[in-house]
Amino acid sequence: MNARAFRLVVFAQICLYAGVLLAVLLKPQGLAANSGISYYGIYARTIIPMATGLLSAAFLSWRAALYIERQDLRPIKYGLAAFAILTVVIVVTPYSFDGIADDLHTTAGSMLFSLQLLLSIWMIVKLHYKSLAIFLTLVELGAGIACAYYLHPAHGLLIQFQLLFQLAFGLLLVYSIAKLKVTDKAVLP
């Protein structure tokens, strides 16, 4: 197993949730605002912890991609790199602005969720249909459907389902990297 890639992915997950948790503690109203994680990217009090958490997760995901060199694991390598780029786009284009920034934010978020779900399906196959991989992907799918449902209503559970989706994906990614034994040499993506 590639200890570096594994640690970087684990730390990326920790950074993501630490940033969101701190933002929620600073402004718990976001849990009921039905604006998702992005709610915390538009307030002076929460933008620093939220952006720091997401950008740290993006950086660590990018770094983890550098340590995956096996040809058969290229989807994970390029997935991590794509997730890093899309996360940066999400952070720098707050959803509250009308126009192109909002469109970019929404498009990047949709692409991120879609690519994560596709990679999850690939990981199921690569892991030979392990029940945990199937379960976590089904959790992602259910949470993704709930996210789509809660995108437009004034009240709902968008952030809760976004976090559930990300938790299921993060657990599957960590599990997959551990099980698939990626190599320990750094290379450019």
Query: In which domain, by residue range, is 113 found?
Result: 3-180
What would the two tokens of residue 93 be? Answer: 């284009």
What does 5-26 look like in DSSP terms, one character per residue?
HHHHHHHHHHHHHHHHHHHHHH
16-32 per-position pLDDT tens digit: 999 999 999 999 999 99
pLDDT at 21: 97
104-160 per-position pLDDT tens digit: 998 999 999 999 999 999 999 999 999 999 999 999 999 999 999 998 888 899 999
Rounded to the nearest 10 degrees, what angle do helices 44-66 and 74-92 cross at?
160
What does 48-64 look like in DSSP terms, one character per residue?
HHHHHHHHHHHHHHHHH
Contact 58, 87 (CB under 8 A): yes
Contact 23, 159 (CB under 8 A): no
Identify whether 166 is part of a domain. Answer: yes
What total number of domains does the chain contain? 1
pLDDT band at 168 (very low <50, low <70, confident <90, very high): very high
34-69 per-position pLDDT tens digit: 889 999 999 999 999 999 999 999 999 999 999 998
Identify whether 189 is part of a domain. Answer: no
